[in-house]
Amino acid sequence: MPSTERAVQFRADRENWSSRKRAGRGGGKEYCITTLPPETRKALTIQNTKVGYRDVLEMDIAFVAELQQTEAQKEAQRLEARQQSASQFAALPAWQKRAAAAKLEIIKACTRYINDCGLAKIEGQNSFAHEYALGRIDVAPWVRSEIRQFHPQTLRDWIKTEYELGSMGLVDMYGNRKDQSKIETFSPDGKTQPMVDILVALVLKHPRIREKKANEALRGILLERGIHDAPLVSDKSVMRFLNKWKSQNRDQYEIACNPDNYKNNRQPAFGSRSEGITGPNQLWEIDATPADLLLTDGQRYKIIGVTDVGTARLKYYVNVTEKARDNAWAIRNCILDWGVPCHGTLVTDNGSPYIGGHFTRILHDLDIDHHVCKPFSGDEKPHIERSFRTFSHDLIELTPGYCGHSVADRKEIESRKSFAQRLMKPDEVIEVSVSAAQLQQFIDRWTAAYHNSKHERLGKTPNQALAEWPHAIHRISDERALDMLMAEAVRRGNRLPTIGKKGIRVNGGVYIHPALGIHVGKKCRAFQDPADLGRIIVHLMNEHGVWEFLCIAEDPNRTGISMAEVARVTRALHTQHKKEIARLNREAKKAIKGVDIVDAVLTYREQENAQEQGNVTYFPRPSVEYSTPGLQAAADARAALDGTLKPVTPALTPDQQAMKDRIRSELKAKPTTNIRNLETESARAKYKRMKGLRDVLTIGGTISEDEYKSLVIYEQSNEYLVLKGMEEESASAVK
């Protein structure tokens, strides 16, 4: 027997001695004598042989019987455990089955290796593990990916557990509680995970929240929602869950925590924004530094930058503000130096200085396409963004006075940040110990040197790219006209002033000019003269929809011009304008001269109705004559007017008879004086005149409306009835 306990254990394992756990304190194993080596059994037999004492053989027989019974029970338990583990193994996920299958293949290969080599078990297992680790054994890739190497004792543990539990004994139980924490398993309705949802919402809304605050907020929200049976979890459990969620949802967390950082590090940048740009003035980009520069004069400045993508040329301007007029001034200087991006594109962000009416109007008048980037999409104008970083990382950091500290009690760590980091940070204030003129002078020198430096994207310098361009550059020679185009409108936005009867009312004044008199009521575009507050430049839209220069209107209270003289000239122009309009109207009316519009419309309607009806003829409907006393009287009157019915002379009243007698006696009496009786002549003359009007109507003639009204009224008077009766009596007497 070996001399040490460990050596004895190794030999027992190697020779598979039958054993059992020793009862009592200390533990250990008890080995069956029959399984011991012969020499050991002999030595023990000699040692235990007694003469005159109880028979030891009886004790050994009882021990062997008990041991055999125990071995049978163990074998039955082992077989039962293997059966149970087989069902458990079938329910495992694929990744756990794959690892167990790899171990089983290694055990089988090791058994074949030992048999083929004729080695002892321990020696063969050690040799197999060594050769496996060195890669001398041909191993399937899927097995090697699961288990790259192993210790011989690990191999022996696999063999033992596989013998006792089958494949289930080879399963790695690490992570067997994956996604099974109290936070993840709590589900009151079996569908939702309120603790998970609350913690995820908290970390998305407050990315820097600590586990203690998150746990307190979790308990408070659960109580507010009426969930009282949620399990209590420790702050460490919350921390582990949050860390695991952050690692599994890195993109989602980074977007909530720092969208810009996510965009810079993870957003794909395939392709190129300069693709298709082959020459100068095809694509410009304009932007301003996010940070402010506090210069020696105490004012805050920004750097406005413009780049020509085709040639990588740059222009930077130090300016107090970043308003529309400042950006327009930068574009104006670039146009004078570089030429016009005719039919080109200018890329800007969506800030108010770029989408306002003044800036967009200038681009429209210059025929420059305007591309507005989406909010927070600096990747749509990457060239100007990179140029700012190139500028901020270059000599400016080495220039004395350019790496000043931030103001307003900034922390020391903020002061240690590089100029480039702070220049690209919005709302940052950087103190720079130079004046605006000195900074602009440095920028001009830096850009001049930059234009002679090789550009990585172009493979040449910007000046070389410009010199190699074979086509002509569009330029504006009239600098004053360009300045007038850059003038600001007198009203912000798209509100156009109206030319009123008194002039154009803007900026607290009334601007007049004789040319405005013939355009009263029209909308116009008015721009302030940069050199004179009392003058505005007026443009009017022509019939083709193009704005044309009209005049320069002045405010008399500001410029001192004579209002009387302007009014006189305006009236003269307006009179001439009215004459021209009258002439045009006469020319227009000639198109329908001599045409009866009403007759033409009625004829058209008749033709339309005839076409719609076609050959359809409607049968007359049955009718019944309708009559009333009033209608009968009206019919009699009509017949009398037509001469087909003699009107009935009504009986005279006593007064009418008296008048008739008086008139008759007067007619028979001879005049005794030379005085003419105007009343009698007037009555007879009026009667004759009215009778003549009636005769005209009878023969189909026409009389005026006033004469007809007088005739109707007269024929109803007593005078008419009397004179008509007298005339009829005279006619009867003659017959």
Q: How far apart are CA 409 and CA 415, in angstroms?
A: 10
Percent of the chain with pLDDT over 90: 13
Q: Identify the top-confidence range among 10-19, 257-266, 435-444, 630-639.
A: 435-444
In order of 528, 556, 558, 566, 567, the CA distances from 562 in angstroms are 21, 7, 11, 6, 9
In order of 172, 660, 664, 705, the CA distances from 653 in angstroms are 141, 10, 16, 31
Q: How far apart are CA 735 and CA 729, in angstroms?
A: 10
Does residue 631 surpass a pLDDT of 90? Answer: no
Q: Identify the top-confidence range among 397-401, 640-644, 672-676.
A: 640-644
Does residue 504 surpass a pLDDT of 60? Answer: yes
Residues belonging to the chain: 735
Does residue 402 surpass a pLDDT of 70? Answer: no
Give the model's pLDDT for residue 351. Answer: 87
Q: How far apart are CA 186 and CA 89, in angstroms?
A: 26
Give the model's pLDDT for residue 177. Answer: 56
Q: Which two tokens stand for residue 509?
A: 């004044």
Radius of gyration over every alpha carbon of the chain, rounded to an integer in angstroms: 59
Please state the rounded mean pLDDT for residues 606-631.
73
Does residue 307 surpass a pLDDT of 90? Answer: yes
Please state the rounded mean pLDDT for residues 392-410.
50
Give the model's pLDDT for residue 547. Answer: 82
**Prediction pTM value:** 0.45
Give the model's pLDDT for residue 678. Answer: 45
Does residue 656 surpass a pLDDT of 70? Answer: no
More confident residue, 308 or 184: 308
> 30-34, 106-110, 277-281, 304-308 — which is least confidently predicted?
30-34
Chain CA centroid to CA 305, Å: 26
Does residue 651 surpass a pLDDT of 90? Answer: no
Does residue 143 surpass a pLDDT of 50? Answer: yes
> Per residue in 315-337, pLDDT tens?
999 888 888 888 888 998 999 99
Task: Give the pLDDT band (50/70/90) at residue 43.
Answer: confident
Angle at 128 between CA 125 and CA 130, to 5 degrees: 110
Does residue 410 surpass a pLDDT of 80? Answer: no
Q: How far apart are CA 224 and CA 232, in angstroms?
A: 16
Q: How far apart are CA 112 and CA 109, in angstroms?
A: 5
Q: How far apart are CA 331 and CA 335, in angstroms?
A: 6
Task: Give the pLDDT band (50/70/90) at residue 601.
Answer: confident
More confident residue, 659 or 43: 43
Does residue 398 surpass a pLDDT of 60? Answer: no
Please state the rounded mean pLDDT for residues 367-374.
90
What mean pLDDT value characterizes the chain? 79
Domains of the chain in sequence order: 5-77 (1.10.10), 92-170 (no CATH), 182-264 (no CATH), 281-467 (3.30.420.10), 489-584 (no CATH), 647-734 (no CATH)
Give the model's pLDDT for residue 420. Answer: 47
Give the model's pLDDT for residue 346. Answer: 92
Give the model's pLDDT for residue 412. Answer: 40
More confident residue, 94 or 58: 94
In order of 417, 620, 685, the CA distances from 615 in angstroms are 97, 16, 59
